[in-house]
């Protein structure tokens, strides 16, 4: 079995086992299953895996982006790639939320329902746009890296890369070193991904055991409409974009993006999925690292089509429920706020709700309305994160194709799998030769 298939099997088994635990009634507060299986084994293995992925994000983005900038070697082209991807990201997000509002509004979801919110939702502060802009430039790059602030890291890496190019030939050794470090990071991702099938199983079994599907029946209208629009965006809107702007085959894309989607689905985080997205987009889809090293982390931060769709549907749902008529102006504000909010917030689990509270405050919808959808949000977060990362990959391909930075043969090669580009074994001969060479070098000193 290849790795993609193993991960998908892990996911499916996780869902089945999780639901079985939920239905069996063995999963209650303080039970053996809850303490040792879902809250114990599954929780620990799943969380360790997410930690491992997150561990890779900062060094991978830093090294691959510096390599990318040096690989392009042309500041103007860099600017073009930056502005194009920004425009596409904003465009796809705006289309996503606009279509969500139109469809959900047309279906009239939430109309005639009683607004009784049980869960209390306390809104967390989302950063104001001015701060987002100012903080793109870190006062201290090390602390930006320590905190995983993606836009600051991107800014620092680009400036560092450009400066290396300006230093010129003297910097060759440094660039070579960073290239080796980048390759090493990719190998680390390979090692971590080999464990993915088991981790994905644990993550999904835990989520399903805890959530079950009872909750959904109460909010079935909201869930079905939202999931439906997410799928429409993924399979129709994004694929239309891909075909029209790059001419690439949506079928091959959908086949190759599957494993990235599974990672996004099980971690609920575009950020944690960056290593996998980057690897897939470069190695299996043929996007040159000089484009992908920028578009992928940039997209994980600013591009959230799935999240925008959730905001559109949730706004219509709650406005209808509370009998508030937002009018065209109100909905236009919602679209604008969602697009802006997605730029300033990182792709981490549950961040969509924070963005939603920003939107609600702006248009004057009651914040406790968010409490209504809180229960089902965890699972919908998984689904929308899978759409978010697919959007990142589509834009990466479109930008790469337009700048002639796409290896079309790699894209069209359908047999390329996740595991094809590297075994996780250390070749004994190579290891021994390497050790010998190191020993000789040190003795020489």
Shortest reach from residue 404's CB to ligand ASP, in Å: 30
Least CB distance from residue 273 to ligand ASP, whole Å? 8
Separation CA 406–CA 361 (nearest Å):
43
* Cβ-closest position to ligand ASP: 352
CB of 153 to ligand ASP, least distance (A): 17
Helix H or strand E encompassing 260: helix 250-267
Could you list the beta-strand ranges (E) of 267-388.
none
Question: Which residue, 64 or 277, is less far from ligand ASP as judged by CB?
Answer: 277
Shortest Cβ distance from residue 86 to ligand ASP (Å)? 17
Residue 260 binding ligand ASP, by CB under 6 A: no
- For 221, phi then psi, to 5°, come to -60, -50
Farthest-apart Cα atoms in the chain, separation: 83
161 binds ligand ASP (CB under 6 A): no
Confirm or reject binding of residue 357 to ligand ASP (CB under 6 A): no
Distance from C-alpha of 267 to C-alpha of 360, rounded to nearest angstrom: 27
Nearer to ligand ASP, 237 or 385 (CB): 385
Instruction: Check binding of 277 to ligand ASP (CB under 6 A).
Output: no
**Least distance in angstroms from the C-beta of 161 to ligand ASP:** 26
Neighbours of 30 (CB within 10 A): 7
Contact predicate 394/238, CB 8 Å: yes
- With contacts defined by CB under 6 A, name the span among 45-53, 199-207, 326-334, 344-352 that binds ligand ASP: 344-352
How many CB atoms are closer than 10 A to CB 319? 25
DSSP 155-179: HHHHHHHHHHHHHGGGGHHHHHHHH
Stretch that binds ligand ASP, among 49-57, 80-88, 175-183, 349-357 (CB under 6 A): 349-357
287 DSSP β-pair partners: 406
Residue 305 within binding range of ligand ASP, rule CB under 6 A: no
CB of 210 vs ligand ASP, minimal distance in Å: 17
Exactly one of 349, 372, 391, 411 binds ligand ASP (CB under 6 A); which one?
Answer: 349
Question: In 3-state terms, what secondary structure has residue 406?
Answer: strand
Q: Which residues contact 290 (CB under 8 A, 6 or more apart)?
A: 67, 68, 69, 71, 72, 81, 405
Residue 406 β-bridge partners: 287
x/- mask, ligand ASP, residues 376-395, rule CB under 6 A, reads -----x--xx--x-------
Asked if 269 touches ligand ASP (CB under 6 A), the answer is yes
Cβ-based burial of 227 (10 A; exposed 0-12, middle 13-18, buried ≥19): middle
Which of 304, 334, 376, 395 contacts ligand ASP by CB under 6 A?
Answer: 304
Residues touching ligand ASP, count (CB under 6 A): 15
Q: By the criterion CB under 6 A, which residues form the site for ligand ASP?
A: 268-270, 304, 307, 347-352, 381, 384-385, 388
């Amino acid at each position: 079995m290849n790795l993609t298939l193993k991960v998908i099997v892990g996911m499916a088994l996780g869902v089945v086992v999780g639901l079985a635990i939920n239905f069996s009634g063995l999963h209650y507060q303080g039970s053996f299953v809850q303490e040792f299986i879902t809250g114990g084994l599954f929780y620990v293995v799943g969380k360790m895996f997410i930690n491992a992925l997150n561990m890779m994000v900062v060094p991978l983005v830093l090294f691959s982006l510096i390599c990318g900038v040096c690989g392009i070697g042309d500041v103007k082209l860099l600017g073009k790639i930056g502005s194009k991807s920004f425009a596409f990201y904003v465009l796809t997000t705006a289309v996503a939320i606009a279509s969500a509002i139109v469809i959900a509004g047309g279906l009239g979801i939430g109309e005639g329902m009683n607004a009784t919110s049980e869960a209390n939702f306390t809104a967390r502060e989302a950063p104001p746009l001015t701060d987002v802009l100012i903080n793109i430039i870190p006062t201290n790059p090390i602390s930006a890296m320590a905190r995983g602030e993606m836009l600051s890291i991107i800014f620092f890496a680009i400036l560092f890369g450009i400066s290396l190019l300006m230093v010129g030939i003297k910097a060759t050794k440094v660039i070579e070193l960073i290239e080796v470090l980048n390759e090493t990071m990719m190998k680390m991702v390979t090692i971590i991904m080999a464990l993915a099938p088991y981790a994905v199983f644990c993550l999904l079994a835990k989520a399903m055991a805890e959530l079950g599907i009872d909750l959904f029946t109460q909010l079935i209208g909201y869930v079905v409409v939202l999931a439906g629009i997410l799928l429409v965006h993924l399979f129709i809107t994004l694929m239309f974009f891909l075909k029209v702007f790059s001419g690439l085959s949506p079928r091959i894309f959908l086949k190759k993006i599957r494993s990235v989607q599974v990672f996004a689905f099980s971690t609920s985080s575009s950020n944690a999925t960056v290593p996998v997205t980057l690897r897939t987009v470069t190695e299996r889809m043929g996007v040159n690292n000089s484009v992908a090293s920028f578009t992928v982390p940039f997209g994980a931060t600013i591009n959230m089509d799935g999240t925008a769709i959730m905001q559109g549907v949730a706004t219509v749902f709650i406005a209808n429920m509370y009998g508030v008529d937002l009018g065209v102006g109100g909905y236009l504000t919602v679209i604008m706020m969602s697009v802006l909010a997605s730029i300033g917030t990182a792709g981490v689990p549950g961040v969509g709700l924070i963005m939603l509270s920003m939107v609600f405050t702006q248009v004057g919808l009651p914040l406790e309305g968010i409490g209504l959808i809180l229960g089902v949000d965890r699972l919908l977060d998984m689904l929308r994160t899978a759409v978010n990362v697919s959007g990142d990959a589509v834009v990466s391909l479109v930008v790469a194709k337009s700048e002639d930075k796409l290896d079309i043969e790699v894209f069209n090669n359908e047999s390329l799998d996740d595991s094809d580009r590297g075994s996780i074994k250390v070749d004994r001969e190579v290891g021994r030769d390497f050790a010998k060479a190191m020993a000789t070098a040190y003795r020489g000193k």
